[in-house]
Amino acid sequence: MTDRDKMAKLSKLIRYFILISTTKAGSGHPSSSLSAVELMSVLFFGGFFRFRVNDIKYVNNDRIIFSKGHASPLMYSLWAAAGALSEEELLTLRKFGSRLEGHPTPGFPYSEASTGSLGQGLSIGLGMALNAKYLDKLPYNTYVLLGDSEMSEGSQWEAIQIAAHYKLNNLIGILDVNRLGQRGKTMYGWDTMAYRDRISSFGWETITIDGHNTEEIVNAYKLALTVKDRPTMIIAKTIKGKGVSLLEDKDGWHGKAIPEEHLDAALNELGSIDKSIRGIIAEPEEIVIDEEKIKPYDKILMAKDKISTRKAYGNALVNIFSKYPGIVVLDAEVSNSTFSEIFQKYFPQRFFEMYITEQDMVGAAIGLSLRGKIPFVSTFAAFLTRAFDQIRMSQYSNTNIKFIGSHAGVSIGEDGSSQMGLEDIAMFRTLNNSVVLYPSDGISTEKLVEEAAAHFGNVYIRTTRMDTPIIYDEKDIFKIGGSKTIKKSKDDVVTVCAAGITLHEALKAYEELKKENITIRVIDIYSIKPIDQETIIKAQEETRAILTVEDHYPEGGIGEAIKSIASVRCPVHNLAVKKIPRSGKPDELLDYEEISSMAIIHKVKELIA
């Protein structure tokens, strides 16, 4: 049997697997899967994709991302054709409890990442390619299967720019141009030249082919693997539903399985199927990674009186790097404001400037995390909202990313509302198993940055623009899920819970109220999620009311986090940003939004009147 004959047999088998699994499921995307069968069959079984089927975690395995995640039936069928799962398991597609979900997730161990929200896979692949070329220095390649519809997403073009900038010749995109989207023709249909012109203008090598011609596909992969200084995009004209006349280039079949009564006719069109044939995936090169030796460096000393928590974050990254050498830092062209530039100065080889591409930056962080790194991703808190879909999807890939949002709240001052992160706490609290931290001084920042690095999972750290006084001692312990009761007595009338800039306002209010013989309890809620329930419950038992103060909108912030504690039955009052913010001095804005020390004093007196 010639290689071409074997490839034809394998393609038939894969089409068979796609059809029987989706019809059995009663749903799925067979037509989107069928269009890319030859493209993926040649990649997997033509000697190009190199992967140890029985050693999924091997460091030098090539990576494959299905950015068009709705083609998951194709992905599962490829691994079945490789002998990695049985036909019986294929028939559990989309069933509750099955590893084979409707879109890829790491529940299926050969799936690199959770995909399906379109426009994200290329960024994830970019992160994996960055890891191979610049960090682990491994020769593995990263392949990303893309759909033509998702090329309208801006995140794709962010990734295309950054991949060219970093000359990622180990990143190979495979664009399945099958003409039809969910509701009809895509923007460019079968105009592969339109894709070629646009992508090549960004500095990519582009190869246009017939996506069902095995010889052209083989030659495209051969050429892609010879490109030296740029990423490659293989642009393939294909037919949606290829091989089944009921589906071929037919609108209205996206996301629909062939009904059982039509399945036999569809299978007959494929011809005889050799169910015993299996494809062989080539083995990657045997490589051992040398442990990176970190040169000795001087740690940065903590300021004696005042420091912004954003600068303390930059210092902390340097100070903990020797303990957590997996750290890699990504920043969105604001490193002189987030102070990640401090880390860049010490460890430039572990820092990636992602420019103003927040969606791509988070996608790349997903890829880096999935290759074992600890990405610290920093920008203004307000601009992380642009990347919330990528952040949301990261939780389904079981990632270990540390997000840092600086310039939070109205306290940033004159820059005005467009720069003020006022939704960020709420955004990150919604994520499953996320951690949300909000340090108030330099020492708590350094301690919490290290806690974040030590914790496996997604963590958000909110930092403040302005300098704030040092209020803690180096011996103080900070842990995820903890808090600090800074002021406490048996005569406390109200408990004030705050974090970040408003904690300092609460301490000012404490001193003023004390002059009038009014004592309040002041708690630093530095861990907003998980929150220190025990301390809060004790405070509500010992004081008349709880007052939360936050430089954030009331929805989803500290106040709602405390109100969500079921055992808290005393009144919980919330001072938060409730007016449309504007430019002004920080103190003016804190007064304007009624979250300043004066507002706290007024509210406490009102509560005890």
**Residues with catalytic roles:** 358
Stated as kind and residue range, the H or E segment containing 429 is helix 424-429
How many of the other CB atoms lie within 10 Å of CB of 292?
A: 12
> Could you tell me which residues are beta bridge partners of residue 374?
327
Alpha-carbon span 369 to 399, nearest angstrom = 6
Q: Report whether 523 contacts 486 (CB < 8 A).
A: yes
Per-position DSSP letters for 541-593, written without gaps between them: HHSSEEEEE-SS-STTSHHHHHHT-TT--S-EEEE---S---SS-HHHHHHHT
Per-position DSSP letters for 285-334, written without gaps between them: PP--PPPPPPPP-PPPPPPSSEE-HHHHHHHHHHHHTTT-TTEEEEESS-
Peptide bond into 109 cis (omega under 30): no
Largest Cα separation within the chain, whole Å, is 95
DSSP state, residue 474: T
> Could you tell me which residues are beta bridge partners of residue 408?
421
> Could you tell me which residues are beta bridge partners of residue 405?
379, 462
Alpha-carbon span 158 to 142, nearest angstrom = 18
Report which of 575, 597, 602 is spatially closest to residue 586, judged by C-alpha positions.
597
Cα 582 to the center of its chain, rounded Å:
31
